[in-house]
Amino acid sequence: MLVIHQLKGFPKPLCCLITLMLLGAALVAPANGQDSTKDPRLESARKPDSREPGSPTNVNPLTGLGTASQAYYAPLTGKQRWQFYVKSNFASMGAFTGPVLNSLLDQIENQPPEWGREASGYGQRLASRLGTAVVQGTVQSAGCALLGQDPRYIRSSSEKVLNRSLHAILFGTITYNNEGKKRPALATLSSYYASSVIATSWLPDRYTSLGDGVRDANRQVVLSCLVNEIQEFWPEIKKLLPHKIP
């Protein structure tokens, strides 16, 4: 899962890369499309939407997130919840993309400096990022199962770029319950704070749970909206990539 807990600030190179990807996706997305929330009888008769996420337990190889369709929403079963948890935290490319990229950025920025720039320092940074991601994913999955909420991103049914972008921001703090109704994403939001606070236990002593932990969690809530933009426009982003990616 792409958990971005920056210790000092969001790296400018990554911001530029994500911005370019989203701009490119906006260019290839339908500019004059109409909202797809039409008569259900017409929906059932039309061809399958190319933006559909496929398997309900699929995990994005870049963000480590899953996706559900707003237009054809179906909640995860108990078995699917378990499969999604394993995939998103241990058994997919997306489970490691975020921790590896973030640990490399930490190494370049020498954060935290107490760990040094040697190979052992990078090992600590990678282990820290992996541990934080697993804690976040575990708390999120358990909380979502307990509250009957969906741990995946709910992709918009609209075909308008602006509507989809605003939808991605909104769903940084809300999700669907098992009945397909919008609810505050309590489990997901709690997982950001739990993982950030717990991560301070293995960081150098100067990091505090109520200071650095809460501050990093606040930043993660904001950055989750940016990650949702990638998730929302992933079908268009894939068209810009040289190789076929699921």
pLDDT in tens, 46-62: 344 445 556 899 999 99
In angstroms, rounded to a whole number, what is the distance separating the alpha carbons of residues 98 and 137?
Answer: 12
Which residues on neighbouring strands pair with residue 155, listed in sequence order?
69
Is 129:151 a contact under the CB 8 Å cutoff? no
Query: How much is the CA Rg of the chain, to the nearest whole Å?
Result: 18
For residues 117-144, give the mean pLDDT: 97
Residue 195 Cα to chain centre, angstroms: 15
pLDDT in tens, 78-116: 999 999 999 999 999 999 999 999 999 999 999 999 999
> What does the domain layout of the chain look like in residue ranges?
52-97+134-240
In angstroms, rounded to a whole number, what is the distance separating the alpha carbons of residues 199 and 129?
Answer: 9
In angstroms, rounded to a whole number, what is the distance separating the alpha carbons of residues 72 and 78?
Answer: 19
What pLDDT is recorded for position 242?
80
For 88, the token pair is: 């998103």
pLDDT in tens, 202-234: 999 999 999 999 999 999 999 999 999 999 999
For 68, the token pair is: 């559900």
For residues 52-73, give the mean pLDDT: 89
